[in-house]
């Protein structure tokens, strides 16, 4: 069975990527970020409760990880050195939401820059509609996994992910409604939706 590790999986893209990897039959370990606000922690825990019902996912501390995985995605760095000891058979990638400000800084692993996305954090119904500059979050997760699985170890240190829209508006609305149903307590607050807007629409 293929294995994957998401280091510092956030409550938005990291867990969506985890869900898609599980759909593909991949055993996924995830670690929590260390610098979350209280509201973000609440949503992360709520979504993890749903993910935890699947035998293909484990929420772990990094020191309890396996020594080797097929694919590793890094969303936030761990404060200790265990990360340096873990090996990836088919690729290890840093996930970014925007280009680094200082591109001359040396990178330890290749970075993948994701396009702008929409999903359950959108503030109003208009933002859930198809837009040329926005891609549905699961389409991005699918494209990232396909790209990483097909290419293996790349020479390029920075890559801007190219995504083709595959989920139509009705499918996206149905999936967003299900996410909000699963996390109804959190998504009922305007403050929570504002957090997502600031994170993902200000870049």
Residues 74-90 have pLDDT tens digits of 998 766 566 778 999 99
Cα–Cα distance list, 66 to 32, 69, 71, 86 (Å) = 16, 7, 12, 7
Please choose, from the candidates 98, 96, 15, the residue with its C-alpha nearest in 3D space to the C-alpha of residue 57: 15
Q: pLDDT tens-digit profile of 1-50?
A: 899 999 988 878 998 999 999 999 999 999 988 777 776 677 777 777 77
Separation of alpha carbons 159 and 147, rounded Å:
10
Domain with residue 129: its CATH number is: 3.40.50
Q: Does the pLDDT value for residue 68 go beyond 80?
A: yes
Convert the pLDDT of each residue in 122-157 to its tens digit. Answer: 545 444 455 557 899 999 999 999 999 886 545 678
- Parent domain of 21: 3-200
């Amino acid at each position: 069975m293929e294995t994957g590790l998401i280091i510092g999986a956030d409550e938005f893209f990291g867990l969506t990527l985890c869900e898609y990897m599980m759909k593909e039959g991949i055993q996924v370990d995830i670690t929590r970020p260390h610098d979350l606000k209280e509201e973000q922690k609440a949503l992360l825990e709520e979504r993890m409760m749903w993910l935890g019902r699947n035998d293909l996912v484990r929420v772990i501390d990094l020191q309890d990880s396996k020594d080797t995985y097929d694919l590793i995605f890094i969303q936030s760095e761990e404060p200790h050195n265990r990360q340096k000891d873990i090996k990836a058979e088919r690729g290890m990638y840093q996930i970014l939401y925007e280009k680094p400000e200082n591109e001359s800084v040396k990178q330890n692993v290749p970075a993948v820059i994701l396009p702008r996305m929409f999903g359950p954090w959108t503030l109003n119904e208009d933002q859930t509609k198809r837009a040329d500059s926005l891609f549905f979050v699961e389409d991005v997760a699918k494209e990232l996994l396909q790209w990483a699985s097909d290419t293996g170890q790349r020479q390029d240190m920075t890559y801007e992910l190219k995504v083709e829209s595959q989920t139509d508006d009705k499918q996206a609305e149905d999936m967003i409604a299900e996410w909000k149903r699963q996390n109804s307590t959190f998504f009922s607050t305007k403050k929570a939706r504002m957090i997502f807007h600031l994170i993902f629409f200000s870049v």
